[in-house]
Structure 1
Amino acid sequence: MSTLNDLLTTLSGIIWGPFLLIPLLLGTGLYLTIRLRGLQFRALLLGLRHGFVDSNDNDGEGDIPNYQALTTALAATVGVGNIVGVATALSVGGPGALFWMWMTGLVGMASKYSEAYLGVRFRVTDAKGNQSGGPQYYLKRGIKGSLGRWLALSFAVLTPIAALGIGNMTQANAVAAGMQDTFGVDPWVSGVLMFVCTGTVLLGGIRAIGTITSAFVPLMIILYIGGSLIVLFRNAADIPAAIGLIFTDAFTGTAAVGGFAGSAIILVLQMGVARGIFSNESGIGTGAIAAAAAKTSHPTRQALVSMTQTFIDTIVVVTFTGLTIITTGAWDLGKENANIMTAEAFSRGLPGQWGGTIVSMSVVFFAFSTILGWYYYGERCLQSLFGSRSTVPYRMIATVCVFIGAVSELTPIWTFSDVANGLMALPNLIGLLILSGLVAKETTAYLRFDPDLHRSPEECQDFLARQGMDWK
């Protein structure tokens, strides 16, 4: 096991090193930002309004409302990475890592828009009449020839495997650990409860997942941010210094202090980007799978909604976590205490046992929702390879893995999650670069036609016909 972990650590260092994924992720996001003319900044409020307020897309083609598609994607991304992942980044890279998480999120919004657009644009109707889409489809259908087929195959094979690690066992392990530390619940009990709950929800497919996540994802985010706001209010005088530390350490590295061993600038950058992607998944392609199920009248509409997921995850939730840890001074506990760092920060800022309780309950809800979202990603990819007959066996495997994750020691799985994230991102990022012209051209044309996203489904169909775009 030690040898395996060493191998995975070495591989993770190469994939997430300064010469492969970090420049490719940031470069792709920056390139797409330029090609889309800063769409994530120009249309952020439009996307938020359309996702949370408008309902004029509910008559469009698709399986679930665009709001449920958004919450399904949020369910998969707002997870342990927003609590433990941020703490890990700060414990190794120092406060400056939060700056690079922000940068990853800001340019990642363009990546998230593009992959969601393509996910809806090239989706297909499966044998059961449901919408299926994502990199496993748009890489093959959008990029002609053997290159597109190999990129699609790589993503489709890696995702179901990665989903059992990053989206399943690590999340279940975090839930069990939190329940044991805070409430004294035996991991076996937590494992059985999650086994039953997960299996029950998964039986209902994407509609059940969408219904469940749309109900409790907003509530869990509000609970967590509410607790963080109280901590920040009580430490308001320390916020300016914390922000200054974030910006200066992002470009200078961080000196050793307390239990923190210090970090060089390359380590600050590496941890910020790696944990930023671990948190918001922009560029990995998974968000496009959830987007493809949405009811919408045009790919641009759902892509704008999907883009807001990265903003909510990284610019909102991650920021609150990072500032809470930094203003309370918990960031210098050292990397060996990263797993308790966020809970310690909340405990320092809230009276009694409320801090640990809020963090533990947030981990439970965040992690469980991530299990549901990632299961759907893995299922859709398997279905693209083997058809609907693969759904039930994978559902059974995923449910069993929840129990295994709850009762097992998973140090290598965490490292494997970083590796799997990186390997999934590579074919998708290549595809985004190749298809960027198509995304930019069609987005520009649609927003000229419908700048406020208020056109009816019938008007959108007429527009699509005039464009010669055969899409439903």
Structure 2
Amino acid sequence: MDALGSFLDSLDALLGGSWWFPYVLLGVGLFFTLYLKFPQIRYFKHACKIVTGKYDKKSHEGDTTHFQALSTALSGTVGTGNIGGVALAISIGGPAALFWMWMTAFFGMTTKFVEVTLSHKYRTKAEDGTMAGGPMYYMDRRLNMKWLAVLFAIATVISSFGTGSLPQINNIAQGMEATFNIEPMVTGAVLSILLALVILGGIKRIAAITSRVVPLMAAVYIIGALAVILYNAENIIPSFAAVFTNAFSGSAAVGGFLGASFAYAFNRGVNRGLFSNEAGQGSAPIAHASAKADEPVSEGMVSILEPFIDTIVICTLTGLVILSSGVWTEKFETTFERSSMTIVHGNYVESNDSDREELYKYLNGIDGHSVEAYSGNIRVVEGVAVNKDFSVIHARSIGEDIRFGITAKHRYTGTVEVDKGMLVDTSISIKGKSLVHSAELTTKAFTRGFFGENGQYIVSIGLLLFAFSTAIAWSYYGDRAMTYLLGSRSVMPYRVFYVAGFFWASFADTTLIWKLAAVGIVVMTLPNLFGIMLLRKEMKDSVDEYWDKFDKEQKQSEGNSEVQKDNSMHFQKDKP
């Protein structure tokens, strides 16, 4: 498992964790924002009218309404990224990471507009009579790049597990265990059965359920978030100030947080922003392709609302909860995760400025530091280390009150072997005080509001609803990709495997799952961004044609209204 984790780390470093990926993602969004003259602002009001059904017609072909398609797509995007992903970004990149999540969302609104429009335009009807669409169809039917379409479809199937299924149930199970002391396997078994009952009904049942769940889960979470933010109202302005002032300089060390460079804040903010709103990834277009509409551009406009709701509204609330409560700089008793932990030579002290400076350089990959990963043996008696020639760094903080153990109750006695900063024996765990991240950090923050300790239940319930609805939506994305690759007959075996994986992930290693998700996202995103850039001219022409047709229909509608009004007046005049 460590070898697989290292391989995924290497892939992530080359792809999503590379210096160039955030620039490509934001660059495409910026290009289309300028090329189409800021559609995320100009068409926002019109998009709201479309989603209410104002322009719907019974003759439009499709499986779902605009609102149901939006709800399904939102259920796929609003998930653990909004609760755990934001917390992870802040814990790694500091407040500045939230700024870059906003930028990803703002430009992502245009990217999503483009990818949804093109995918809806080239959708087709599957063998079972349902609509099938997504980037693989415009790649195949318009670009004549079958190889690219196949690559994207395979990546979608992989991502349906790495993004939609595995990390979602893993976070749910952890939350249920931490809050209600329910065994992860029990949570996994119950929710796997519910998941199977939902997805076997296809897109119509999925759309019907998500259109009810999404508004409910958003309302519950927003109320809980406001209870914390308003409770810490005096910290709202300082929190916003920290976000903006650190955006281009990185976040300085504060409290237990050892600091993050601009590169870290930028990279993690953009990366987590993409994981949250999926703009450019090509997943949401699959849901929107099912919408009843004769104009692809109209459905593209509906999708503009997704990153706004997902990131600019919900992720901002999560970020303000974490920042205003101050928990992101506090240390808590926790079990150190292997992926977030390294053991270094030397006894570093947080109150020592030179120690903090050295660790800052080390953690941010800046040359000139003297920190070295520990290799050697640590002698332990009843969980406590005898030799003091090392420090444990966890979640970008110096670990305190370190204890070694085998189980929750059994403290280890013996020799602990460490190689290049990592424990050789994976059965040995380390506990102590350090910063926390992901859903655990958000949970801590929600206890600092009007609801007190009861606030943690809002996170657990929100995580349950958010993550479960995401798993539902991604099962649909995966089965549309399987439909493209192997036909409608492959959908049922895929669904069975999807549910089985969902159950397994409830008690699997969290670290490996998040690493798989990080790689899967980028493998989908790059082919999609490449494809929509090739069709930039067609996209602009489609928008112009839409408005020409819309204006003509509006004038015709107004003319018909005048005729009906005149006829009514004549009828009233001629009545005896």
- Answer yes or no: same fold by TM over 0.5: yes
Residue pair 1:57, 1:297 contacting (<8 A) in 2 also: no
- What residue is the counterpart of 1:45 in the other structure? 45
CA distance in 2, matches of 1:101, 1:319: 9
- What residue is the counterpart of 1:24 in the other structure? 24
How far residue 445 of structure 1 moved from its aligned partner, in angstroms, is 2.0
Q: Alpha carbons of 1:150 and 1:260: their partners in 2 closer, same or farther (altered >3 Å)?
A: same
Q: Given residue 415 of structure 1, which amino acid in structure 2 is its aligned partner?
A: K
Q: Does 1:78 align with 2:73?
A: no
Q: Alpha carbons of 1:201 and 1:63: their partners in 2 closer, same or farther (altered >3 Å)?
A: same
Q: Does 1:196 align with 2:193?
A: yes
Q: Does 1:435 align with 2:432?
A: no
How far residue 456 of structure 1 moved from its aligned partner, in angstroms, is 10
Q: Given residue 190 of structure 2, which amino acid in structure 1 is its aligned partner?
A: L
Q: Given residue 424 of structure 1, which amino acid in structure 2 is its aligned partner?
A: M
After superposition, the CA RMSD in angstroms is 1.8
CA distance in 2, matches of 1:452, 1:308: 26
CA distance in 2, matches of 1:393, 1:126: 17
More helix by share: 1
Mean CA deviation greater in 47-56 or 345-354: 47-56
If asked which structure has higher relative contact order (CA below 8 Å, sep 6+), I would say 1
- What residue is the counterpart of 2:437 in the other structure? 338
Q: Alpha carbons of 1:58 and 1:261: their partners in 2 closer, same or farther (altered >3 Å)?
A: farther
Mark the structure with the bigger radius of gyration. 2
CA distance in 2, matches of 1:176, 1:455: 55
Q: Alpha carbons of 1:292 and 1:455: their partners in 2 closer, same or farther (altered >3 Å)?
A: farther
Gaps of 5+ in 2: 331-394, 397-434, 558-576
CA distance in 2, matches of 1:223, 1:407: 27
- What residue is the counterpart of 2:266 in the other structure? 269
- What residue is the counterpart of 2:509 in the other structure? 409
CA distance in 2, matches of 1:68, 1:17: 34
CA distance in 2, matches of 1:293, 1:455: 29
- What residue is the counterpart of 1:140 in the other structure? 140
Q: Over residues 25-75 of structure 1, what are the superposed CA-to-partner deviations in whole Å (9 max), with x where a residue is unaligned?
A: 011001111111100111112212321353624541101111111000001
CA distance in 1, matches of 2:290, 2:20: 32
CA distance in 1, matches of 2:143, 2:120: 15
Alignment of structure 1 residues 361-376 onto 2, 5 Å: 361-376=461-476
Q: Over residues 174-215 of structure 1, what are the superposed CA-to-partner deviations in whole Å (9 max), with x where a residue is unaligned?
A: 111111111111112111111110000011000010000001
Counterpart of 1:392 (choices 470, 492, 495) is 492
**Matched residue SS, 1:64:** coil
Mean CA deviation greater in 81-90 or 37-46: 37-46
- What residue is the counterpart of 1:111 in the other structure? 111
Q: Given residue 185 of structure 1, which amino acid in structure 2 is its aligned partner?
A: I
How far residue 256 of structure 1 moved from its aligned partner, in angstroms, is 1.5
The percentage of counterpart residues that share the same residue type is 40
Q: Over residues 216-241 of structure 1, what are the superposed CA-to-partner deviations in whole Å (9 max), with x where a residue is unaligned?
A: 11110111011111211222221111
CA distance in 1, matches of 2:443, 2:556: 48
More strand by share: 2
- What residue is the counterpart of 1:159 in the other structure? 156
How far residue 452 of structure 1 moved from its aligned partner, in angstroms, is 11
- What residue is the counterpart of 2:413 in the other structure? none
Q: Alpha carbons of 1:452 and 1:202: their partners in 2 closer, same or farther (altered >3 Å)?
A: farther
Alignment of structure 1 residues 173-252 onto 2, 5 Å: 173-252=170-249
CA distance in 2, matches of 1:314, 1:395: 29
Q: Alpha carbons of 1:12 and 1:222: their partners in 2 closer, same or farther (altered >3 Å)?
A: same
Count of matched residue positions in the alignment of Structure 1 and Structure 2 = 455
CA distance in 1, matches of 2:4, 2:178: 28
Residue pair 2:135, 2:528 contacting (<8 A) in 1 also: yes
Gaps of 5+ in 1: 458-472
Residue pair 2:51, 2:302 contacting (<8 A) in 1 also: yes
- What residue is the counterpart of 1:60 in the other structure? 60
Q: Given residue 231 of structure 1, which amino acid in structure 2 is its aligned partner?
A: V
- What residue is the counterpart of 1:284 in the other structure? 281
Q: Over residues 50-101 of structure 1, what are the superposed CA-to-partner deviations in whole Å (9 max), with x where a residue is unaligned?
A: 2135362454110111111100000110000000000000000000000000
Residue pair 2:328, 2:436 contacting (<8 A) in 1 also: no
Q: Given residue 328 of structure 2, which amino acid in structure 1 is its aligned partner?
A: W
CA distance in 2, matches of 1:19, 1:114: 25
CA distance in 1, matches of 2:554, 2:454: 44
